Structure 1
Amino acid sequence: MTEHHDYSAWVGRSETRHDLIAAAPLAGLAATLDRDDPPPTAGTPVPPLWHWIYFNPQVPAREIGPDGHPKRGGFLPPVALPRRMWAGGRLEFLQPLRVGEEGVRTSTIRSVSTKSGRSGALVFVTVRHELSGANGLALTEEHDIVYRDPLQPGAPEVPPQPAPADATFEREIVPDPVLLFRYSALTFNGHRIHYDQPYVTGVEGYPGLIVHGPLIATLLLDNLRRQHPEATVRRFAFKAVRPIFDIHRFHVCGRPDEGGRFTLWARDHQGHLAMQATAELA
């Protein structure tokens, strides 16, 4: 499939969403990540990256596309390429959202670009999110989305990169279907690549269920927070490099750099780099 559409009219488009920062989703994500956090109550801060369980579109069933996502168009441009993934993002945390307050998220499309890669046409969309709570702006986020051509049999594969071998802390993750289902439910993500094994293997051509990019990013930062539970995360950036599937275990790894900065990464079962990230603590 070839993408030659002009999506310039979508650049600058904005939408605003409101959501109550409720306790139950936080408790659900803590359980999903196998944490022993105390039950959240009014005023409990939302940990970094856990805001992804809020502000998610809840479209009627009639508006769901064949891949389980909302149909194309609306706020995001109607890109025809069938495979849609979270490519990465950059976040700055100014203050936490807190349980019991009403949050507001304003999203603006910053750019749309079309490229050609090894696997065919690619469309990249960058969205800027600004999230505010009762005390004003809480965090900013630039969210990168990539749309791709269908997988073609025999198409050249991007050569894998070896993951760094100098981790000072790491944790093994078992990405079973229950973990993926629970995260999909918490984020109201109907994308079938994360829970529908016949669809992901038979239609999209992958070997197994795909672990959510934001879930991997959350696990990377969760692993760092386990090392430094009292620290405040100020900045975080991540980039998806290679998909991880539910058929193998993987590791989330990290090492300290200078000035409160950390390099984080996910390593797949073959030692390949799956996601790379940086974090900065206050």
Structure 2
Amino acid sequence: MSDDLQSWVGRKRVVEEDIGLGQVRRIAGMLDMDPAGFRRGDPLPPHWFVFFCNETPRQSDIGTDGHPKPGVVLPPIPLPRRMGAGRRVTIPGSMRIGDMAERIAEVAAIVPKQARTGFITVLTMRHTYRVDGQVVAEEEFDAVYREAPKPGEASPVAPPAPAPTDAAWRIEKHLSSPLVFRYSALTWNAHRIHYDADYSRAEEGYPNTVQNGGLTMQLLLDAAVAHTPGRLTGFTARLTRPIYVGDTITLCGRASDGGKVATWVQDRDGNLCGQLDCEFAA
């Protein structure tokens, strides 16, 4: 790793945002909940912290892929394609409508490596969310940077693996274009693979527009919370296989020992596409 990249490790940025009623009601509407059911002062579901304190780069700082240009927000890793891969989250508190929250984003690690699908670099970001000086959520997030595909080459995809068959509950969910658009808008994510099919095929080698991985995790967490008593206190997530806009997925889960819940998402062919292991407290 170059000295320029190494110098980014440990750098921090702080973003503040008030937890506004309007934003909360838009989130609720996107998730097919009654927006009028939320009032000022209400606590939010613990895992909703991801909708707040996102970076808001200027339009002139946006690159051709829809992400901020290298070096504006994230380190200038010299590989053109970036995808979320995994998260490790603890949630000791929750936000309330009307709070002023802050997110401290720290570059935790930059690790170049040779993978089965080619040369990659893994960027790990550490995010700490606070309200009135108290930590309400801590997250480590991994993003994988890859080389550009050669003309006509498909984006590398992990070999299919069958999903578990011992689910205690299963929910089918259609990933419509408006749903993916609304989620991306609420999280201020303009990555073109989520809405521009021509770009997704020609520039990044996917067969279609790609489902937003954050939305996959959000839907799976919502399902786990709906099927589990107690309060969500943390989770680990790993996305293993791309899902495409317009697909119908199945959200699955089952309880395990000690307040833990194993959840996963599978595509229409029964292939495993991602897993979340959740922890709940009574």
Amino acid at match of 1:11: V
- Distance in 1 between the 2:278 and 2:75 partners? 31
Quote the offset at 1:142 in angstroms.
0.7
The percent identity for this pair of structures is 36
Candidates 109, 112, 123, aligned match of 1:111: 109
8 Å CA contact 1:14, 1:75 repeated in 2: no
Partner in structure 1 of residue 61 of structure 2:
63
Amino acid at match of 2:180: L
- Distance in 1 between the 2:219 and 2:157 partners? 26
Quote the offset at 1:259 in angstroms.
1.1
The worse-fitting range, judged by mean Cα deviation, of 267-276 and 155-164 is: 155-164
Deviations 1:33-90 (A, max 9, x none): 2224653222222223322211111111111100011111134210121111111111
The worse-fitting range, judged by mean Cα deviation, of 129-138 and 77-86 is: 129-138
- Distance in 1 between the 2:34 and 2:17 partners? 26
Q: What is the count of residue pairs matched by the alignment?
A: 278
In the TM superposition, structure 1's runs of 4+ consecutive aligned residues that sit over 6 Å from their partners are: none
Partner in structure 2 of residue 279 of structure 1:
278
Residue 10 of structure 1 aligns to a residue whose secondary structure is coil
Superposed, 1:228-243 pairs within 5 Å as 228=228, 231-243=230-242
Alignment RMSD: 1.7
- Distance in 2 between the 1:38 and 1:251 partners? 28
8 Å CA contact 1:200, 1:206 repeated in 2: yes
8 Å CA contact 1:12, 1:108 repeated in 2: yes
Amino acid at match of 1:21: I
- 1:147 pairs with 2:148: no
- 1:187 pairs with 2:192: no
8 Å CA contact 2:155, 2:205 repeated in 1: no
Partner in structure 2 of residue 198 of structure 1:
198
- Distance in 2 between the 1:88 and 1:196 partners? 24
- Distance in 1 between the 2:34 and 2:259 partners? 25
Partner in structure 1 of residue 120 of structure 2:
122
Superposed, 1:33-48 pairs within 5 Å as 33-36=31-34, 38-48=36-46
- 1:259 pairs with 2:258: yes
The 3 A distance-change label for structure 1 pair 39 and 155 is closer
